[in-house]
Structure 1
Amino acid sequence: MSVKKVNSNNPRVLAVQTLSRVKDGAYSNLQLNQVIKKHQLSAADRSLLTTLVYGVIQHRLTLEFYLAPFINPAKIDPWVRELLYTALFQWQFLDRVPKHALFNESIEVAKIMGHQGTAKYVTAILHKMDREGLPNLQAIDNPTERLVVEYSVPHWLVENLISQVGQSKTLAILKSINLAPKQSIRVNSALSTDDQVVASLEEAGLKVKKSAIVPHAYLVTGGHVATSQAFLKGWIILQDESAMLPVESMQLNSSGQSVLDVAAAPGGKTTQIAAAVGEAGHVLALDIHQHKIKLILDNAQRLGVGNQVSAQMLDARQIPNQLSQQFDRVLVDAPCSGLGLLRRKPEIRYEKTLADVEKLAKLQGEILSASSHIVKKDGIMVYSTCTILQQENSDVVQQFLAQHPNFELLATKTDFNLKSDRQEKTLQIYPDDYLTDGFFIATFQRKE
């Protein structure tokens, strides 16, 4: 997507530039971080930039529906369309900026990034939308199609969710995924205590609330955690609450356990394991990419568990051929579609297809099978994904059990006994359950 290069600290200009790069395939969170580091922005401008970028991506199909009657797609520059989306998003989803002000600001962005003709075009489109009114979502007759447009989620995903969890649960999930993600941290028990972390964060002016999902975790608001002294000292790690649950279910202790983390980068769960097994235990972390091995080891060093962690580049499917050691515990946090992360990575919904899900499910089954070869007798293997579809979760589990009768499925346990009334032994966390990332966890034990 061609964008005129302009040097500006205007958050609306930066938002359009960032959205254009994301539309070309860049990751929204990485692009935002780069832009924020490069530009000197006030806290208010950083907030506006982040809100605009995530807001437009989250509501893209809705914004397309609103804008479609007013433009000729063949005659509009892609970046101008992104600019109009930012105006529409502010108009329809934010109430902080008056309509006349956001129209004027959008026209000013058109002048900065384009020329006078671009500004006139944007002015005409905005005034025409205001004069004629936007199309009505409720006029969409097909109820599934209405959900697709209203919550900006592709048709195949809506249909799969409805078939798997029903209409009302699907609606609850869809309503939740466009809410702002929570900023959660895990206390690194290898270097600090809960009390020390809370005191440090509060001294820095941050508001801290204890997690109701996992122990030694907190929700933090009112500032940027990654610049805090607690973070810089390695006392905490940024991690979603539900992402802490797979390690919690591994039944770890400090008796000297050997643990394999099969797909470990960037090392959040690796370091959580290392802190749990203590100095007597050891974690071998695997990843298929060499540059991510350094990332894992760097994180382990920062969090004071470097002595307990080693890392190796290896395709997990090659475990039976490459590893001879047997492990007490194995974590298979498998590569997946990431559809449980839509709140944090909203562009995933447009990038993934059902074919991708089916291909990933095959890969997950292969990795799980390969990993099972190095589990000790009575050892535990945990399978987890950050997705919410059965194809990558319960279907993979059932296929594995059918092919590996020497493993049995245990009930996945959590310290706070989440979903204690569920019938199934696996644990599925949906994004609307606790307003965390969506996650799935299955716990296996080798019987022979």
Structure 2
Amino acid sequence: MKNENQRLRDIALDILLTIGESGGFSHLVIDQKLKKSQLELRDKALLTELVYGTMQHKLTLQYYTNYFVKKPEKMKNWVKWLFYLSIYQMEYLEKIPDHAIIHESVEIAKNRGHKGIANLVNGVLRTIQRNGLPDLNNITDLIERLSIQTSHPYWLVKRWFLQFGEEITREMCETNTAHKQMSIRVQPLKIRRDELMKQLENDGIHTKTSPISDQGMIIEEGNVLNHETFQQHFFTVQDESSMLVAELMDIKQGMTILDSCSAPGGKTTHIAEKMQDNGEIYAYDLHEKKAKLVAKKAKELDLTCIQVGQKDARKLQETHSKETFDRILVDAPCSGLGVLRSKPDIRYNKKEEDIHQLARIQKDILTHVLPLLKKDGKLVYSTCTVDKEENEQMIQSFLDENPEYKIDSSFFEELPEVLKSAKGRTQFGIQIFPQDLDSDGFFITRIMYQDNSNVSR
């Protein structure tokens, strides 16, 4: 009969197989399994750590496994992932003793396979316990070494080297393997930020204010998701880079605003809060299921100015007249290369061709949506990726083809002090790297109409 430790690792192995071999999304698969598992809170936290940690270091763990196994290509998938899971615990988790990891792994191998596999698992893990792991610094190719050390695909590291140089790429890759701080956004129509901070502090949850948003807070210690204020929807969990999007929209009460790609609703509801729930927000998403998430989020936060619908952003001229909106947000579909810490499976599933295709979709959306902007309006374009083709180069290409628009120069003056001299700032917007704020990688810019009398055609 399995003990609780073995059952937990069995569940972790099942999740890793679903994500790693069947293409499941890590956050969705983990959430589904946790709901069914009936594990205690502490065990749920460990399960999440095991899955995310193993996925985050997959290429490193694959390198180590292949070093010790003579014919790794002949291993069954579950054996491969069992090695990754086991070596991750031995190398990265200090609180679990090696002998316990080896014992549980061998027992899983016995139950899932046969004696030969159990012997292989036992032999490899005991060799690692005795001799340690190979030194990754011995990898001579610089890009390959960084790729293996930080578990980023070779093509991606090479691409970042060419776009941003060695220093930024190394910092970004290393940051993507580290734990990310949690930040939340207070709902100011329900509670003031200082009041929420005081409530949390009284219950042992230590916070500090965000330099990005006057609604933002960074959690320094404690589990805020177990606090009653979370159940009361006094705040939303949101990354600081994501908060910056609404902060840079120059929002005023009573405006009519379009959020063209709105799911899951974090930015939409932030816009509504900044408007004091006074105005109109039309929030759309291509998928009906995702649009419903936006409506659910708005209802939880008691925001009534948001009208949600399922529509393709590239067809919104069929629904709205030209020059309808004071502000437009295009939080465009993207490769997601800025959120690799939160969704580590992205780095293994994306291909370079995906980026080319996404850049075309992004330009299509911008081209279709911008005529809906009033002549004195402003459009914010954002992505949660770190790639010039989807960001600066896409914006530059769009402006070259559409000279009636320009970058709003006052956008740069409104950046938070902490970002005014950021390395990712260009004439086309600001690229936030994960290491800049210990947040997600994001690109943000703001576009407006240009005085046609000054445009030469």
Q: What's the TM-score bracket when you normalise by the shorter of the two chains?
A: over 0.9
Partner of 2:444: 441
Can you list the C-alpha shifts for 1:102-157, whole angstroms capped at 9, x where unaligned? 22232233344445544333112222444565333122221111111111111111
Partner of 1:18: 15
How far residue 222 of structure 1 moved from its aligned partner, in angstroms, is 4.6
Distance in 1 between residues matched to 2:3 and 2:319, nearest whole Å: 51
Distance in 1 between residues matched to 2:154 and 2:97, nearest whole Å: 34
Aligned-pair identity in percent equals: 37
117-126 or 26-35, larger mean C-alpha shift: 117-126
Report if aligned partners of 1:261, 1:332 keep a CA contact under 8 Å in 2: yes
Distance in 1 between residues matched to 2:30 and 2:173, nearest whole Å: 24
From 329, 349, 352, give the equivalent of 2:350.
Answer: 352
Can you list the C-alpha shifts for 1:273-306, whole angstroms capped at 9, x where unaligned? 111112431100011111222211111111011x
How far residue 195 of structure 1 moved from its aligned partner, in angstroms, is 2.5
98-107 or 416-425, larger mean C-alpha shift: 416-425
Q: 1:229 to 1:44 in 2, by over 3 A?
A: closer
Q: 1:102 to 1:48 in 2, by over 3 A?
A: same
Alignment map for 1:32-431 (pairs within 5 Å): 32-71=30-69, 72-131=71-130, 133-254=132-253, 256-305=254-303, 307-324=304-321, 326-411=324-409, 412-413=411-412, 414=414, 416-421=416-421, 424-425=426-427, 426-431=429-434
Letter in 1 for 2:391: N
Gaps in structure 1 of 5+ consecutive residues: none
Partner of 2:454: none
378-387 or 222-231, larger mean C-alpha shift: 222-231
Distance in 2 between residues matched to 1:308 and 1:408, nearest whole Å: 30
How far residue 211 of structure 1 moved from its aligned partner, in angstroms, is 1.9
How far residue 226 of structure 1 moved from its aligned partner, in angstroms, is 3.5
Q: TM-score, with normalisation over the residues of structure 1?
A: 0.93
SS in 2 for 1:363: helix
How far residue 356 of structure 1 moved from its aligned partner, in angstroms, is 0.3
Report if aligned partners of 1:200, 1:229 keep a CA contact under 8 Å in 2: no
Q: Give the aligned CA root-mean-square deviation in angstroms.
A: 2.2
**Count of aligned pairs between the two proteins:** 442
Can you list the C-alpha shifts for 1:355-389, whole angstroms capped at 9, x where unaligned? 00111001001101111010001100000000011
Report if aligned partners of 1:9, 1:39 keep a CA contact under 8 Å in 2: no
Distance in 2 between residues matched to 1:399 and 1:141, nearest whole Å: 38
Distance in 1 between residues matched to 2:353 and 2:415, nearest whole Å: 36
SS in 1 for 2:418: coil
Report if aligned partners of 1:380, 1:445 keep a CA contact under 8 Å in 2: yes
Report if aligned partners of 2:6, 2:104 keep a CA contact under 8 Å in 1: no
SS in 1 for 2:212: coil
Q: 1:103 to 1:279 in 2, by over 3 A?
A: closer
356-365 or 400-409, larger mean C-alpha shift: 400-409
Report if aligned partners of 2:211, 2:418 keep a CA contact under 8 Å in 1: no
SS in 2 for 1:442: strand
SS in 1 for 2:267: helix
How far residue 262 of structure 1 moved from its aligned partner, in angstroms, is 0.6
Report if aligned partners of 1:65, 1:135 keep a CA contact under 8 Å in 2: no
How far residue 223 of structure 1 moved from its aligned partner, in angstroms, is 4.5
How far residue 34 of structure 1 moved from its aligned partner, in angstroms, is 2.0
Gaps in structure 2 of 5+ consecutive residues: 452-457
176-185 or 367-376, larger mean C-alpha shift: 176-185
Report if aligned partners of 1:20, 1:78 keep a CA contact under 8 Å in 2: yes
How far residue 38 of structure 1 moved from its aligned partner, in angstroms, is 2.1
